[in-house]
Each structure stands twice: as structure tokens, then as C-alpha cells.
Structure 1
């Protein structure tokens, strides 16, 4: 089983914190979509023995496309690949796109936005990932988001009437977001009875507007202690609402985990289509050029504009440790030994002991007492905010 990720590299405007590849110009949209459909055709042999069980439209802002444009890409997938009977098809969306014609008191606007949801369902989308980020206008303005708090609330109200599987993104750790405000964001999210939340700490990526503003003293520096406080409240409150914290940044009710993203964390192969998209299969990773014009030109010339990296055994081990510690499933020592050899398993057990002793990691033994029981290395609540640092310390260096 595997998945397909489609990167739609267009946005209305640049969020101040974002460093993903996108363009605010739609001039080459038609050419690009045609090139992406062709890339799907050119690469079908790479996955001819795979069944596609998830399709994910990410970006950028996929909701800038109309249903017919999305249909062009799904048709190319079904034409060239074997797709499971009931694939998970996710679309990342911004509230202002889904309710773009709606204004308070205008029934015609409500009808238009309902049509958008119906059109998405008609082409097979069955999971919406909505970039809410915050339910407060001042936060959205600080991030340079295109939607308003009103858009966010109207969008979720309508989305929940059409889709059962809805996830939202929320950002925490903003310097001007106190704990009361963060809890109000969570209250609003829970009130809509959504089944999944992806939540990320605000981070400063190089060369972003946020990076520039902080350096110029136009925006306050980030506070790790505040972010940690927000994160702990998120964990505590989501668990009380019946969510499982199944990955560092992801919280889902049972049966509502992201199948697509879970496949990444389980090391399943996936195909990335479009500028900057990444792919993975076995011992190989590749990524497309992060330039729309170069991408289009290469694909039109029947050339794949990508860089390919062959992963060593050590590369794969390090990635398994990093990914495993981020999830509720942890890292299986038995699987590490089976996939990479006894030396790697012994290294992991030996080097993790200091983190176990300090209460940051724990070693659980499912089926304790049974001969040959596995041992699972997991992060404790105390260590969960320190995963990246611990994982890198457990890496094997070539």
C-alpha cells in the first residue's frame, strides 16, 4: 500500500511564518496542472505494483483550484495507478476559499459555499484539512492569513454539515497569545466537534517575513516556555475530549487518524507530484525542483526534474528512530534488530538508557513475561517536547 501527495504551489498571499514552496501568481496554473498530470503518467511504472490507498492535496493552497482542476489530477491518478476501493482523499483548504462568497446576511453566498463542499465530495474528497490557525482576528492578521475569524467559524459550521472527517490546523506559541486566549481557541475547536487536530508551535524559518520582523524588532521574539505551556494544555485538554495524541503534532479520535500521514511514519512508500514534492520508496528518496517554470519545462520535455538520494542502512535507521519517537507507537527494538541488525538495536538500547534514567524516555514491554517479548522505546510526557534533540543523540553516525 502507498500514497500519492500532490503539491499545489499557489497561495493568495504569503503567511509570515511559511517557508514552503509556492507562488502568488496563477499565470502558469493551467500549464502546471497539465505538467502534474503528465508527471503522474511518466512515473506510473515506479508504483505499478503498489495499491494507492491515500491521495493528499497539499500546498500551497489546493483550495484555490476549482473542482474541475482537481478532477484533472484525480483522473490522471485513476488512469495510471491501481487505487483501493475506498481511498482516503484529503484536501488542504483555507476557510476563505471554501466560503469565499459568503457574507453575513447574504443567502446567495451561503448557497455558493455549499456548492463548493458538494463539488469536492463529488470528485471523491472525503477528508478536509482546514487551515484555521486561530479563531482571533489579531492573530490571523499577525500571521498574514487571508481569512478572518468569521470565515473560520462559518467554514467549520458548513464543513461539518458535509464532511464527517474534518481536521483543522492550529498554531500555538505566538508571543501575544496568552494561555487564556489559547484555551479559548481550543474551546472553539472542541465546540465544532471535529475529530482531528494538527497543531504546531510557531517557529522562525530563515528568510521568512517573521524572521525579518523579529530581527528588525517589529515582532517580539518567541518564548519556548510559553509554547511548552500551550502544548501541555493542548495535550491535557484534547485527551479529556477523547483525542489520542498519536504523533507529536497530531491528535485524533479513534478511527480518525490521518491515514496518509501515518503511512509516512510507518515507512510506507509514497509518490510526490509537483514542484518541490518529495517521494520515498524503499532505500531511495527524491524531490522535485522548487521552481514552477523549471518544473513545467522539464516535464514538457519528458524529463523528471528531481534529485535522487540513495539511503544507507544508517540513514534509514536514524529516520526510523526519529519518526518512531514522534508517535504513540514508539520504536520497536525487535523491529530495529530485524531491519538493521543487532548492532543497531544494541546501540539504541545502550544510548537511550540515560534518557530513561532521567524520565524522558520509557521502555515498555507488551506481553511482559512472554518469552521473546518485544521492547518498545517511547517518549514520556516529560520528554515529549524534547523529541528532536533526543532522537539526534540516538543517531548512528557513519
Structure 2
């Protein structure tokens, strides 16, 4: 089983913390859509005829597209690939786009899952982030989607930013629980170099982020999710039993995926490729039937380190037998390097699998980096 990711590089305005590839101008939307359809044709053989289990519209803000534009992209995929009858088809959406008419139109498409970028229910936080929507709109968009029959919904929340007190953070979580959303993705705010937030901090218009605050709010998050019966199946992802994100789970499990659109990444087990992050150059290249991408052949070391990085973040853990399948003898070497982490109780071993403890999840990136080959 494989997945296809479609990058829609348009947003109404730029969030201060975001460094994903996008444009705030829709001027060339039609040309971009034609290029996406053409790249789907050009990339037909990349997944070697594997059945498509997931399609994911990310961005940017894919919900700026109309229902028929989304259906057109899905039709192009189904014309060239075998798509499972139970495929998970996700659309990332901003609350302000999910008006009643838009949801009604999306109900007529094959989309069966929404990923809604809520981030916070506090208007002052959303203004500080430079989000388009407001808190009441976020709540209303979820209820409208549910009333229209969309049950498979995930919501994004952000923590660890200066305006978010622990009281406000607990309120955001309680609001999510009250809305009966089955999947939550929650991220600590980070300062990416080319963002407005980074500029504000450099110019001392904004205080630096507080790592201790972020760690404490992550613990609050884990405790609240556990108390409500959610599974913490990946560092930043929680769900009610049976509501995993199939698409993202395939990333973490090393399944093949094809990325369509500017800045999109692809992986077929042997190579990794990434498209140019420039809308005009992407369109111009695709119009000439050239895929504007760079690629690398994955070395044994690449595969080992990627498996360590992704597997440790998940509920399924790092399988030592699989590590030895990639390169014989590497499991013993990793266990030696991990001795200090066992002593600190940041990781534990059950049979032939290593897992992060809740304490270890606070240091996931550090642990992975230290165990790299």
C-alpha cells in the first residue's frame, strides 16, 4: 500500500510561525492546478503500480480550492492508479473556509477526512499568530462538518508560545474534548529562521520562546489525552482507538509515497526526491514535461538513521530485528549506545522492541540523534 500527497501552495495570509512553502496570491491558481494534473501523469510509474491507500491534500491551505477542483485531482489519480475502496482521503482545512456551502460541496467529493487547523480557541492568540479565523469560527466549523456527516476529523493545536498560560492550554484541550474530535495533532511552537516570528525575536519585539514552558505543557497534553482514553501513537499525535492517521502512519512505517506539487517530497524505498519550492519555476518546468526535482539514492546509513528517527517517535517502537535486516549487527551497536538512556529511564525494551517512555518523549529528537549511525 502507498500514499499520494498533493501540495496546494496557497494561503490567504501568512501565519507568523509558518515556514511551509506557499503563496498568498491566488493569481496563478488555474495554472498550478493544470501543472498538478500534469505531474500526476508524469509521475505515474513512481510507485510501481502499488495500490493507493491514502491521498492527502496538504499545503498551504487546500481548503481554498473548490469542490470540483479537488474532485478533478482525485479523478486524475484514480484514472492512473488503483485506489483502494477504503482509501483515506484527507483535506487540510482552515476553519474560515468551512462554511456551510463549502462543506456541502466537499460532501460531494471523495474526501472523507478533515484536518482542521484550529491552533487555539482564543482570539488574542490567533491574532498574535496572524491566523485568519477566530475561536468561535473554529468551534462552529467542526460542528458544521460533523452535522454534514464528516466523522473522521483531526484538529491541530499549538502550545509553548508566550501568550499561552497553562489555564488557557487546559481550556483549549477541554474544548477539543467537548467537540468529540477523534484525532488530535499538537505541536510545540518552534522558531523557524525565515519566519516573521524569528524576525520579531531578533528585533526584540517578541520574547524568545520558553523551552521549560513547552515541556510542561507537553506533559499536560500527554496526561489529559491519557485521561480521556486517547492513544499517544506518535510524539505529536493522539487518537481514540482505531482513528490513526493512515497517511502519516505510513510515513512513520516507511511505506512508499508520491508527492505532487512544489516542495513536495517522494519516497519509494530506494530513493528520496523533492520538488522545487518555487511556484513559477514548478509550473514552467511541468509545462515542458520536466519534473523539477532533486533526488538522492538512500545509503545503508540513511535507511538506518531514518528508521531510528521515525520508529522511536511511535507507539510501535524500534524493532531491533528490523534494524539488523537493514544492516547486520547494528542492533547490538545501538544497544550499547543507548545504555545511558536506559539508565535514565528515557527508553525501555520489551522483548526485541525499544520504546520511549513519557519522560523520554521530551527528548525524542536528542535521543534519535545520539543513536544515529
TM range (shorter): over 0.9
Give per-residue Cα distances to partners, 1:60-108, cap 9 Å, x unaligned.
0000000011112111101111111111000000000112xxxxxxxxx
Describe the SS at the equivalent of 2:55.
strand
The corresponding residue for 1:38 is 38
C-alpha displacement of 1:339: 2.5
- TM-score, normalised to structure 2, is 0.98
Matched, 1:164 2:151: yes
The corresponding residue for 1:108 is none
Contact 1:47 1:81 in 2 (8 A): no
The corresponding residue for 1:203 is 190
Whole-angstrom CA distance in 2 between matches of 1:237 and 1:306: 42
C-alpha displacement of 1:361: 0.9
The corresponding residue for 1:376 is 353
The corresponding residue for 1:391 is 368
Whole-angstrom CA distance in 2 between matches of 1:363 and 1:150: 45
Alignment size in residue pairs: 372
For structure 2, which runs of at least 5 residues remain unmatched after alignment?
none
Whole-angstrom CA distance in 1 between matches of 2:347 and 2:219: 17
The corresponding residue for 2:212 is 225
The corresponding residue for 1:149 is 135
Describe the SS at the equivalent of 2:22.
coil
- TM-score, normalised to structure 1, is 0.92
Whole-angstrom CA distance in 2 between matches of 1:117 and 1:389: 42
Describe the SS at the equivalent of 1:204.
coil
Give per-residue Cα distances to partners, 1:268-291, cap 9 Å, x unaligned.
000000000000011200000000
Give per-residue Cα distances to partners, 1:226-282, cap 9 Å, x unaligned.
111111111111111111000000001111100000000000000000000000011
User: Among 254, 272, 276, which residue is 1:267 paired with?
Assistant: 254
Whole-angstrom CA distance in 1 between matches of 2:54 and 2:3: 5
C-alpha displacement of 1:45: 1.4
Contact 2:263 2:274 in 1 (8 A): yes
Max Rg structure: 1
- CA RMSD in angstroms comes to 0.8
Stretches of 4+ aligned residues off by more than 6 angstroms: none
After TM superposition, list the pairs within 5 Å mapping 1:1-398 onto structure 2: 1-99=1-99, 113=100, 115-161=101-147, 162-342=149-329, 344-365=330-351, 375-396=352-373
C-alpha displacement of 1:215: 1.3
Whole-angstrom CA distance in 1 between matches of 2:169 and 2:54: 32
